[in-house]
Amino acid sequence: MKQKTNNLFDSKVEPIPRLRPDIDVIPVRDNGHSYLYFRDMRGYLEPHFALDRKVGTVLSLLDGRKSINDLKPYLGKGVDGNQLLEFVRMLDENRLLLSSHFKAFAQQKEQEYEQADVHQSVTAGNSYPADPHELKTLLDDAFMQHSLSYRGISTESIHALYAPHIDPRVGMETYVQSFQMLKDIQPTRVVILATSHYSGLYGDFYQGQPFVVSSKNFEMPLATIPADHEAIARLLDEAGDTGLSGNDRAHRIEHSIELHLLFLSYLWQHDFSIVPVVIGGFGELLHSNGDRLQKQIGNFSRLLQNQFGGDDDTFFLISGDLAHVGKKFGDERPAATMREEVRQFDEQFLTAGEKGSTEMMMDLMKEERDPYRICGYPPLYTFLHAFPELEGQRISYDRWDQTERESAVTFGSILYQ
């Protein structure tokens, strides 16, 4: 994206904009050198951006109150104000500062995405090969290695699948065991209800709108999967008080839908379209009575039921993982010390999902206010509200241990008939 740089910070007396709070700064070593690696979940930074670790002192002083002149006493005699200003302008140009330049860049990037017709994959080339031939070979091998028998399940009556969006490099076995069940069905429409990991990063932009639908076609390595524009338009026309938004910037860097489409595009050769919806957090239901949100969930669920409930050609995918525990996610204890309690909680959550019981699920989540950060709770809770008569059968349960970060993520799948 070409961006003008004439609005970069350029003053020695005005406060320097602070470092963006939504960037993770991670110390790394490479070939004997120490660096600070900057990870931007929102994708505004160039990939793999890093600086020498020695600049950490300067970065720690960027609190939004100090000017270039204020910083000079903290630095060595070899650094003058002009050099420091040049360094700050470099930070600003690379979108590390919460500045007017950054805000203009971010707004332009979001608007360009919203106006585009196609969602380009953010997972291809990272979680799996972007090259179609390499990807097909990988998936061929995975399905040969991990496939199970259908264990007496009739695929003719399959209505929905709850499955994870964990990185395929650690969850491939669960993906294969889950999605192989869909190999022989041929729905023409797939409604996807998925975790939104990023809508909360947009502040008040989605205030009162937990459901975000995209009208874009999704470009994946094996196929470009079209959106069902007619169905999406009907949802938006009849949205009313459902909390449904058609401003789809929350989809721009989201992986939770793409990872399901990865496997559909591999397994299915027939034409189908999608209604992709990401769903923000339901914490309000756990920390207060959440009357407003509960009403929106009920209204949106009824809208789904009315639009798609009687349609045998519509299939539902629910995308969500289970527990996120350990020091990476804010726990004081390492994930290894929580293994059994997490397993028991996951067991109760999956049982509620199998029974199709929103009441059981809500009671469990309220008990300790989602102590293990179940990211699949909002999409699965919404689906069960829309189709309370369905019962499911558990297909898999697994765990990804990030030993080096003393953390773990659990995930599983349920098939609904």
pLDDT at 180: 94
Sheet strands (E) in 168-306 = 189-195, 211-213, 217-219, 224-225, 244-245, 273-279
SS (H, E, C) 278-331: EECCCHHHHHCCCHHHHHHHHHHHHHHHHHHCCCCCEEEEEECCCCEEEHHHCC
pLDDT at 154: 64
List strands edge to edge, sheet with 217-219: 118-120, 217-219, 224-225
Q: Is residue 270 packed enough to be buried (19+ CB in 10 Å), middle (13-18) or exposed (0-12)? A: exposed
The CB-side HSE value for 380 (13 A sphere, CA atoms) comes to 34
- List CB contacts of 208: < 8 A, sequence separation 6 or more: 243, 292, 296
pLDDT at 324: 97
- pLDDT (tens digit, 0 to 9) for every residue of the chain, 417 residues total? 444 456 899 999 999 999 999 899 989 888 888 999 999 988 999 888 999 999 998 999 999 999 999 998 887 777 788 999 999 999 999 999 999 999 999 999 999 999 999 999 999 999 999 999 999 999 999 999 987 766 666 666 899 999 999 999 999 999 999 999 999 999 999 999 999 999 998 888 999 999 999 999 999 999 999 999 999 999 999 999 999 999 999 999 999 999 999 999 999 999 999 999 999 999 889 887 778 999 999 999 999 999 999 899 999 999 999 999 999 999 999 999 999 999 999 999 999 999 999 999 999 999 888 999 999 999 999 999 999 988 999 999 999 999 988 999 999 999 998
Q: Distance between CA atoms of 274 and 386, rounded to whole angstroms? A: 18
SS (H, E, C) the chain: CCCCCCCCCCCCCCCCCCECCCEEEEEEEECCEEEEEEEECCCCCCCCCEEEHHHHHHHHCCCCCCCHHHHHHHCCCCCCHHHHHHHHHHHHHCCCECCHHHHHHHHHHHHHHHHCCEEECCCECCCECCCHHHHHHHHHHHHHHHCCCCCCCCHHHCCEEEECCCCHHHHHHHHHHHHHHHCCCCCCEEEEEEECCCHHHHHHHHCCCCEEECCCEEECCCCEECECHHHHHHHHHCCCCCCEECCCHHHCCCCCCHHHHHHHHHHCCCCCEEEEEEECCCHHHHHCCCHHHHHHHHHHHHHHHHHHCCCCCEEEEEECCCCEEEHHHCCCCCHHHHHHHHHHHHHHHHHHHHHCCHHHHHHHHHHCCCCCCCCCHHHHHHHHHHCCCCCEEEEEEEEEEEHHHCEEEEEEEEEEC
Domain boundaries of the chain, sorted by first residue: 23-108, 118-416
Tokens 């360094």: give the residue. Answer: 87
pLDDT at 4: 46
Q: Distance between CA atoms of 273 and 275, rounded to whole angstroms? A: 7
Which of 197, 214, 314, 298 is closest to 256 using CA atoms? 197
Q: Which two tokens stand for residue 159?
A: 């209505």
Q: 118-416 — its CATH code?
A: 3.40.830.10
User: What residues are paired with 71 via a beta bridge?
Assistant: none
pLDDT at 282: 93
DSSP labels for 42-53?
TS-SPTT-EEEG
Tally helices (H) and strands (E) across the chain: 13, 15
Q: Report the amino acid identity of residue 145.
A: Q
